[in-house]
Amino acid sequence: VSTKQINTLDANDKLSGKRELFNLPDGVIYLNGNSLGPLPCNVQQRLDAVISGQWGKDLIGSWNKHGWIDLPLRVGEKIAPMLGA
């Protein structure tokens, strides 16, 4: 398979725009299915908001005020169908 063919396939792939959602250096092709994937662009901003805005301001109250206490249940409900539970 040539580089030209690969670029054509990429250009026609309905998922081709998803690359822009991740912090990937130009020219890097990152194929890893069993470890950390590339960092999504919005993760740093989201972590900063949780650390500074929730934990930093509301301290221990964040468990209830921001719903941390229920996170295992909410995540479980979302992934249960994938697991057949």
Q: Are residues 33 and 51 in the same domain?
A: no
Within this chain, do residues 1 and 31 fall inside the same structural domain, yes or no?
Answer: yes
Q: Is the pTM of this model over 0.95?
A: no
Instruction: Provide the domain limits for residue 75.
Output: 43-83
Give the per-residue pLDDT at 70. Answer: 98
Report the domain count for the chain.
2
CB atoms within 10 A of CB 50: 14
Q: Among 24, 66, 62, which Cα is nearest to 41's?
A: 24
**pLDDT tens per residue across all 85 residues of the chain:** 899 998 899 889 999 889 899 999 988 888 887 888 899 999 999 999 999 999 999 999 999 999 999 999 999 999 999 999 8
pLDDT of residue 77: 97
Judgement on whether residues 77 and 51 belong to the same structural domain of the protein: yes
50 and 24 together in one domain: no
Return the pLDDT at 68. 97
Give the pLDDT score at 27.
87
